[in-house]
Amino acid sequence: MSQHTGKAAANALAFPKIGLEYCDCREQSVAQKQVIVVGGGIIGASIAFHLVEAGAQVTLIEAGELGGIVSPCSFGWTNASHKNTRPYFNLRFQSMHLWDDLAARLPDIPYRKTEVLYLDGKTFDLDTFYANHTGWDYPLQWLDETQIRKLEPGLTVVPERGILSTAEGAVEASPAAVFFAKQAEAKGAWVVTNTEVTRLVMQGDTVKGVIAGDETLAADEVVIASGNGTKDLAAMAGIDVPMYSKPGLLISTTPVSHRVQRLILAEEVHFRQRADGTLSAGEDFGGGEINGNPEAGSQMLLERIRNQLVDPTGIELAGYTVGHRPIPGDDHPIVGRPVNRSGLYIAVMHSGATLAPVVCNAAARELLNDERDPLLATFGMERFSEAQVAASAAE
């Protein structure tokens, strides 16, 4: 079992092991409640951070390195954009506000409210998007071609009109996961990497802990926040989580001087420039021409970025990733306790970059105080019928 050293590692000595006698800590105070979080991506690490801040004793276990598997493949766009139901919009919009709050409190967090230019009239029905979302008090502004060029003089291809979102931004999802994990560790969490959870320890219908590496660890609560690994882990407790995944290509370029300030949603490519000067572009997580051949697709995306810019000098492909985004069966997050199981909490979603602050803050409160945030009312496991769960298990 690989573990980090320092103050957090010392806490491991006091973390109970399951043996012939189990130390049940459920009568202890919230400050002493022991929680194991499985998954070191942006959701798992953020839950660990919020739990530690609330006074819990936390162990964060990641099968690989901090940052997870899916988070490094995230485009990182934080938004409450089109095609959202009102409850899902509310959840995402609140999380955007919480990203701003975190950035004000923790200035080193890798998040920026960059603003976003919607110039893609093919992917987005811009008129409907504007009408619906401004009706929900989402800050959007129509711009004409002159105004767009004034904001982003480095763009070559500019439509006659577009929409500016002043509330949206971007987070570097994998570095943010590492940031949250390090913050949690500094506050006393035990962070364990390169260690796979191979079993959930059950007593009746209650999860009592995990077996990770050669250790058996006890806890009052076990949180599964393992992305695509969530389904298999939950199955260890007899829980079928309806979910699927889709591939998506993300490319990064060599670093160049300033080309664009905002995240740009152009018709041919959605891209942004990171703080280190690299440009990033992603393709829809749905397969197709680009995702079907990632090497050729990477070159296509690279050329599309170059075609969007007045100065493409020095923009070369630095690398690409193909990520498999974890998606719950109805495309909406699953956050909460499964029915008929105690000691277990599940958090899986395909929009972790946007949702991490609101979901993880709410999850910490629910885990420690049994307070269910109204924003999560429609996002629990109970919304899936027995038929849906059975169908998922048969796949």
- Cβ atoms 263, 77 nearer than 8 A: yes
Cα gap 287→359, rounded to integer Å: 28
Tens of pLDDT along 207-216?
A: 999 999 889 9
pLDDT at 13: 30
Q: CATH class for domain 115-166+244-326? A: alpha beta
- Calculate what percentage of the chain has a pLDDT beyond 90: 76
pLDDT at 146: 98
* CATH number 3.50.50.60 given to 2-71+174-242+330-394: yes
DSSP, residue by residue, 330-357? TSS-EEEPPTT-BSEEEEE-S-HHHHHH
Which is more confident, 155 or 214? 155
Q: Where are the domains positioned within the chain? A: 2-71+174-242+330-394, 115-166+244-326
- Cβ atoms 219, 209 nearer than 8 A: yes
Residue labelled with tokens 């022991």: 34
pLDDT band at 17 (very low <50, low <70, confident <90, very high): very low
Can you tell me the mean pLDDT for 82-87?
87
Contacts of 266 (CB under 8 A, 6+ apart): 119, 120, 155, 157, 304, 308
pLDDT at 80: 96
Which is more confident, 7 or 211? 211
Cα gap 77→114, rounded to integer Å: 10
Using the predicted structure, report yes or no on whether residue 365 has a pLDDT greater than 60: yes
52-61, 311-320, 322-331: which has the minimum mean pLDDT? 322-331
Phi and psi at residue 247, to the nearest 5°:
-80, 155
Identity (one letter) of the amino acid at 393?
A
Tens of pLDDT along 242-290?
A: 999 988 899 999 999 999 999 999 988 999 999 999 999 986 533 345 6
112-126, 155-169, 271-285, 346-360: which has the minimum mean pLDDT? 271-285
Q: Taking the alpha carbons of 289, 293, 296, 301 in that order, is the dihedral positive or negative?
A: positive
Helix, strand, coil percent content, the chain, rounded in steps of 5: 35, 25, 40
- Residues 324, 45, 319, 78, Cα dihedral to 10°: 80
58-72, 183-197, 288-302, 329-343: which has the minimum mean pLDDT? 288-302
Contacts of 319 (CB under 8 A, 6+ apart): 251, 252
- Cβ atoms 33, 135 nearer than 8 A: no
78-82, 196-200, 273-277, 389-393: which has the minimum mean pLDDT? 389-393
Residue count of the chain:
395
Contacts of 141 (CB under 8 A, 6+ apart): 163, 164, 166
- Cβ atoms 277, 285 nearer than 8 A: no
Helix (H/G/I), strand (E/B), else coil: 38? strand
Can you tell me the mean pLDDT for 99-115?
97
Which is more confident, 21 or 354? 354
Phi and psi at residue 387, to the nearest 5°:
-65, -40
User: Structure pTM?
Assistant: 0.89
pLDDT at 68: 75
Mean model confidence pLDDT for the chain = 88
Which is more confident, 368 or 214? 368
pLDDT band at 7 (very low <50, low <70, confident <90, very high): very low
Cα gap 265→120, rounded to integer Å: 6
pLDDT band at 4 (very low <50, low <70, confident <90, very high): low
Q: Taking the alpha carbons of 216, 217, 223, 227 in that order, is the dihedral positive or negative?
A: negative
Cα gap 128→82, rounded to integer Å: 9
Tens of pLDDT along 298-321?
A: 999 999 999 999 999 999 999 999
